[in-house]
Each structure stands twice: as C-alpha cells, then as structure tokens.
Amino acid sequence: MGAKPSPKPASPKPKLGLRHWMNSVLEECDRANDGFDVDAVHDLRVALRRCLSLADGLRAIDPDSSWKEMKKNGKKLFQALGDLRDMQVMQEWIEKLSDGKPRTADPAGDTSSDDRFSSDPAATRLFDHAQHREAECKQHGFKVLNQFDRKQWRQWSRTLPRRAARVRPGSAVYLHLALEKWTAAYELHKHAMRTRSQVALHQLRIGIKRFRYTVENFLPQLHAEWGHDLKELQDLLGEVHDLDVLWATAIDHSVNAFPDVESRRRWREKLTAERTKRIARYREKMVGRQSLWHVWRAELPSGPRLRAAALSRLRTWAGYLDPDFSHSQRVAQLALLLYDGLNHAHLLTPQGAPLNSEDPRTVLQAAAFMHDVGKAQAEENHHKNSYRMIRKLPRPLGWTARELELAAVVARYHRGALPRPSGKAMQTLDLPDRHQAMQSAGILRLANALDKRPSTSASEKSPRLEVIPIEAGVSTRSGVVVRVAGYSALDHSAETVAAARHLLETMLRRSILVRPLRTSAARPARAQVARKSTRSSQAA
C-alpha cells in the first residue's frame, strides 16, 4: 500500500486587531526606509489605513483624545505615500496594457526611453513620467517618514489596544458600529450607481473599505462569511480608480503621452474595456434583489435589536467617561425598578394618558447610564457638563433626536436645582415632552439618592426595590411606599433621600415613603436570634 499523503497544514489565522496593525506600522516603516519598494509602500499603507479606520470607529465609543492624536499622526504619513503608491501602480498597469513588451535596461543602464516599450511610444512616455514622479514622491516620502514620531506611536500601541479591549468583539456595540458603516457605504453606493462619476465610485470604494475593516476587526463571525466578497469588491473598485488615474495622467498636457489620434483612441478603448468589465462585475454582485447589500443588512440589528444596540453604544460611551460607572449602573437598575413599579400601579400619567410606550423607560435608562459623564470634565456642576456632552453626541441609529434631547435633560436634573418649565434646558423640549422629562428626572433623582448607601456596593450585587401604592382611606391619604433593601431611616443618607423624593412627589401628586425592604436572608437571621433568646430565657 502506498503511503498516505500528509495532511495539508491548516492555514494560520489572520492576525487582526489594533495592536497587530499598530505594531505592523513600525515594522513596515523600517522596510519602507530601505528604498520604498512597491511591496513595502503597499504594506505600510495597508497597516496605516487599518489603524486609521479602527481609530475612526473606536473614537465613536471612546472619546479619549489619544485616538484623534494617533489618527492625525498616521494620516500625514499615509497621505504622503498616496501619490507614490499611485505612480507605482500606474507603472504596473502600463506594462499590462501596453501594445509592446517592456524592455529592461542593460547592466550599464543606458537603455533609451524611446525603446522601453517596442511599438508603443505612448506607453514609453507614460512610463517615463511615472518613474520621474515616483522619484519625486520618494524624496517627499523619506522626509515625512523621518518626521514620523515612532516613539509616540509605540506608546499608543501599548495603551490604545487596552482601551479597545474593554468592548468584546462581536458585541452589540460593534454590530451597531458596523451598521453605521454599512449605512454610509450604501448611501455612497446609491449615489455612485445614479451618477456613475469617477469621484462617486472612488468614495464608494472608501466606504466599502471602512465597512470591511470594521467587520474584519470587530465581528469575526460575520467576517468569516463576508470577507471574500468584501475584498473582491474593494479590489474591483480600486482597479477602477487606478484606471481613472492612469487616463487622467495620460491626457494631461504636461505629459503629452499620445503622439497621434490613433494612439489616443487605442488607449482609450483599452482603458474603457477594462473599467467597464470591473464595474459590470460590481453591479452583478451589488445591484438587484439578490444584492449583497441586502444580505449584509439582514444580519445587522434592526427593530428592537437596533434600539438595544444603540443603548449599549450609549452605555459604553458613558463607561469610558464616568469615573464611577458601577454607581451609574446601580442607579440605572434602581431607576428601572422604580419606573416599572410606578407604571404597573398606573401612577405615571403624562397629560393624563397612561404610559404604554417603552420609549420613556429606555430614555430613563440611558439618562441613568450617562448622568455622571460630566465628572470627566469637573466634579463641580458635573450635571450641567453631562447635559452639554450628551447633547453634542451624534444621534445613534435607532434613536430619534427627540429621545437624545430628552435623555440629556433628564440627566441634567438628576441633582441640583429643580427643573422649571421656563428653564433654558426645558425650553429645548416640546410641550408634551416636558412633563415626561420632569417625571423621569424625579425618578432618576430619587434612584441616585438611594444609591448613596455604602451597603449597596459592599453587600449587594444588584439593588432591590419594591413599589407599593396606598389608596386614600378614612384615616390615610394616597401615597406610595418605596421599600429598598439596605435602607435605614437613621442613616445619614436618609436626609438626602428625603430631599430627592420631592420632585417625584410633585409630579405624582402623592407622598412617597421610603422604607427598608426585608430581604429573605434577613428573616432566617431574625428567627435564629429569636430562638436563641427563647432558649436563654428557658435556661434562666
């Protein structure tokens, strides 16, 4: 029997992630410094492009200034190498499309430029121009490369990947980010298919590239399904751009590439044929009912999933800024428990109508997550800082501008002066929304005060709260009892709670009594103490 063939070694997994690409930039800088050969320039630009694309996405969820500085530092070098890369690619296309075959220089290097391409003087002139421009671009590239701050880049390669790692790949936050990139690219696609201009196709290529890098680095499962198609589309549009640049160079008066009309016509036909073939392939995959655009969109969040992903996006943004985000998470839990209890008792009635929509609840939750982001700027008056910072946020997909404005106002009044209809922040809202904002602010204000208790973080993982409505009777007036685990009327924080409940009492037109919630763990303990006391008395 013959020997069994050795199994094919598994292909190594591609190295992805910000740390890999930032380290690759430093490695490729050393390679490029040896002479800017074609492969070195291409690989350095790929590494830089991925870092810049990742920085764009991560800046949306992490407002740290280092992202902007890193992008600015890398973009200067990336742009300096752009013209050089265009000239190198142009030479490859000239050799491919020329009617004559390229002739290599002899060892003495004295091959005449007129003889570089046999029977195609246009190719010779274009090739000579590209080589001359390549030499000029290399000089500029060396200058910019020497100015590139590698020490600072190396420091960022250690700190920024750690910040990026706080969000797990494949999470709802990155799905939302990918949807943003998909939406931007799809708009560019519609514009390019409508106008068919060179500029529109080039912008489309950039949009697909950004979408591809987002999926590749943040959504590994989807990249396994989409990666091949995304790369093919990017390559097709990239080649279309290369052909457009080649033709623009050939017809430039300073180049004077074509010796006669026939030569110009022949080159134009060849470039048009190559360009048309690639655009047709793109349209085959991306236009119609079976378009990949629809396939990709079906896998990204929509409906309730989209709103949940948008909320995760806001929560992540707040987590990067808030110095005590665990407090804000507990406040959000308390606020939702309080909201659900009041809503279940039909006590939340803006303008006399019951709250059936989940929007107020989501807005309240978002405001609770973000209410302390202003502390990143200053502790004093941080609620006002939070208001301004939330309002400046780009509206996340799945949310309306109205909801983001509501969340900002609710966060603004989680402490400090009480909201007034004539106040500047309240004036930004429509009349029906002002009642909801004041009501939600009252809930958030009370929830924030209830988490002032030291026992919350020490003894409980999740806060517990119950809402019990009390209807008016002969000897009682209507009110609400809020029972909270760990609360004590004799604790110093009880004064803060008493002041914080005023706004909600005003909005509900009911008094609110805060009482301790007897947990199941406390009952056995009290029973055990009672049994010990009984035994002691019997023994005596």
Assess whether 295 and 312 both reside in one domain: no
Residue 93 maps to a domain: yes
- At 492 the pLDDT is 83
Based on the fold, state whether residues 328 and 358 are members of the same structural domain.
yes
Lowest mean pLDDT among 244-258, 273-287, 291-305: 244-258
318, pLDDT greater than 90: yes
CA 468 to chain centre: 41
pLDDT, greater one: 487 or 316: 316
In a domain, 370, yes or no: yes
Query: CA 425, 427, 433: angle at the middle one, nearest 5?
Result: 95
Q: Give me the mean pLDDT over the 187-196 stretch.
A: 95
Give yes or no: residues 181 and 201 share one domain.
yes
311 and 442 in one domain?
A: yes
> Given this model, what pLDDT does residue 313 score?
95
> Is the model more confident about 516 or about 120?
516
Six-digit token string for 451: 């988490």
Is residue 534 predicted with pLDDT exceeding 50?
A: no
How far is residue 404's CA from residue 393's CA, in Å, rounded to a whole number?
Answer: 8
Q: Are residues 393 and 322 in the same domain?
A: yes
Average pLDDT value for residue range 335-364: 78
| DSSP secondary structure of 440-505 | HHHHHHHHHHHTT-THHHHH-SS--EEEEEE---SS---EEEEEETT--TTSTHHHHHHHHTHHHH
Q: Residue 95, Cα to own-chain centre: how many angstroms?
A: 42
Q: Determine contact, residues 521/528, Cβ cutoff 8 Å.
A: no
Kindly state whether residues 381 and 443 are assigned to the same domain: yes
Domain assignment of residue 296, yes or no: yes
Asked whether residue 385 falls in the same domain as residue 402, the answer is: yes
Q: Are 107 and 280 in contact (CB under 8 A)?
A: no
pLDDT at 98: 85
pLDDT for 404 beyond 50? yes
138 within some domain: yes
How far, CA to CA in Å, does 64 sit from each of 248, 309, 328, 330, 502?
41, 21, 20, 24, 37
Predicted confidence (pLDDT) at residue 116 exceeds the cutoff of 70: no
487 φ, ψ (degrees, to nearest 5)? -75, 145
What mean pLDDT is reported for the chain?
86
Tens digit of pLDDT for each residue in 353-393? 444 445 899 999 999 999 999 999 999 999 999 999 999 99
Quick: pLDDT tens for 32-54: 988 899 999 999 999 999 899 88
Asked, for residue 505, whether it belongs to a domain, the answer is no
Q: Which of 104-113, 299-308, 424-433 has the lowest mean pLDDT?
A: 104-113
Interval 245-256 mean pLDDT: 87
Last residue of a domain, one of 460, 480, 512: 460
Mean pLDDT value of segment 75-96: 92
**Segment holding 269, helix H or strand E:** helix 261-286
DSSP track, 157-189: HHHHHHHHTTS-TTSHHHHHHHHHHHHHHHHHH
What per-residue confidence (pLDDT) applies to 470? 86
pLDDT at 461: 66
Q: What percent of the chain has pLDDT over 90?
A: 67
Question: Do 294 and 308 share a structural domain?
Answer: no
The answer to whether residue 474 sits within a structural domain is no
What is the extent of the structural domain holding 161?
Answer: 13-104+112-166
Domain count, the chain: 3
What one-character DSSP code corresponds to residue 117?
B
* 175-200 average pLDDT score: 96
**CA atoms lying within 13 Å on the CB side of residue 37:** 6
* pLDDT for 110: 46
Residue 197, domain member (yes or no): yes
Q: How far is CA 439 from CA 338, 355, 391, 409, in A?
A: 12, 12, 20, 11
Of 397, 432, 460, at which residue does a domain stop?
460
Same domain (yes/no): 121, 42: yes
**Residues 149 and 190 grouped into a single domain:** no
Q: What is the CATH number of the domain that holds 424?
A: 1.10.3210.10
Over range 335-344, report the average pLDDT. Answer: 94
The predicted pLDDT at position 472 comes to 66
329 and 412 share a domain? yes
Lowest mean pLDDT of 98-112, 185-199, 296-310, 318-332, name the range.
98-112
pLDDT tens-digit map of 51-79: 998 898 898 899 999 999 999 999 999 99
Query: What is the average pLDDT across 126-149?
Result: 93
**Closest residue by Cα to residue 487 from 524, 449, 441, 445:** 449
Same domain as 160, residue 229 = no
Domain boundary among 122, 144, 166: 166
C-beta separation of 465 from 334 below 8 A: yes
When pLDDT is averaged across residues 162-191 and rounded to a whole number, the result is 95
CA atoms within 13 A on the CB side of 458: 5
At 203, list the tokens: 């912008």
Residue 31 belongs to some domain of the structure: yes
Provide the 10 A C-beta neighbour count for residue 227: 15
The pLDDT of 148-158, averaged and rounded, is 95
Tens of pLDDT, residues 461-517: 688 899 998 876 655 668 899 999 888 888 888 899 999 999 999 999 999 999 998
More confident residue, 120 or 287: 287
